[in-house]
Structures are given as structure tokens and as C-alpha cells.
Structure 1
Amino acid sequence: MTKDDQIPFEAALVARTGPVEALLRRLLDDRPLSGEIARPQRLMEAMRHGVLNGGKRLRPFLVMESAALFSADGEAA
């Protein structure tokens, strides 16, 4: 790997944040998923508050990058 091939950490973290945010927003939507009866509004608001308020993107980034190290699909990780 040459220096030109290396992506700075911050740029890689920002690049992974978008897909993670989109997935979390889709999973924490008010509409029930297949097999669910209902999603209580107050519970969903609390879950979104805890998950979507930033500062919690390092773990998903590390999982996705670890998957990429082993040629696994980082998006599926």
C-alpha cells in the first residue's frame, strides 16, 4: 500500500457515518417492521434520542473496518 492509497482516519470515519446514520434512522422509524405489532411512540423517541445523538459512531466504524480487513462486506457487518 502506498501513501496515496491510505485514507486518513477522519475521512474514513466520516465516509462510514452516512450509511450508519441512514440504517439507524430506518431501523428506528415509527412504522413497525415485519413481524412487529406496534412501536410505542415514547419508546421509539427514547431509543432515537439514545442512539442518534452523535458520539456513537466509532463502534460501527470499527466493525465495518474489521470486516473489510477480512474481505467481508463492511456494509453487512
Structure 2
Amino acid sequence: MAELIDGKSVAEDVVRRVKALTIELMEKGAHKPGLAVVIVGEDPASQVYVASKSRTAKECGFHSVQHTLPAEMSEQELL
């Protein structure tokens, strides 16, 4: 029989462990880890996803920054 996994509980445990490791590394003199996201356009689903990742990064003690660029931007301009 299959065993159900409590995904929310597992995720909370991962965040707690990452936060503790982040604090430990910073106490040893490491730079604050960070998450940088470049998002092109204003797709609502993408905005929600990026906001969620940013919140989690900040909860873990990371620096988080988002750069939103216009949808008209070409791949060549982006690179």
C-alpha cells in the first residue's frame, strides 16, 4: 500500500534546515546567499510563482531580488 507524504510538513522542514545552515555559514563569515530572478512580461502565474520563491528565499535568510522586464524585450536584448 502506498504511503501518503505530508508535503507541507516536508517543505517546512527543508526551510528550517536551510535557514539553520544559512545562519551557520554566515556566522563563519560567508556572504549572504541570494536569489536573483529575471522575469520577462507580466504573466500572472509567473508573478505568483516568483513571489512564492522570493518569500521562501527570504524566510531562509537569503537576499532576494526580482527584475521585471517588458514583454516586448527580445531574447537578444535580454542576453
TM class, shorter-chain normalised? Answer: 0.3 to 0.5
Larger radius of gyration: 2
Task: Name the structure where strand makes up a greater proportion of residues.
Answer: 2
TM-score scaled by structure 2? 0.34
Larger helix proportion of the pair: 1
Of structures 1 and 2, the one with the larger relative CO (CA 8 A, separation 6+) is: 2
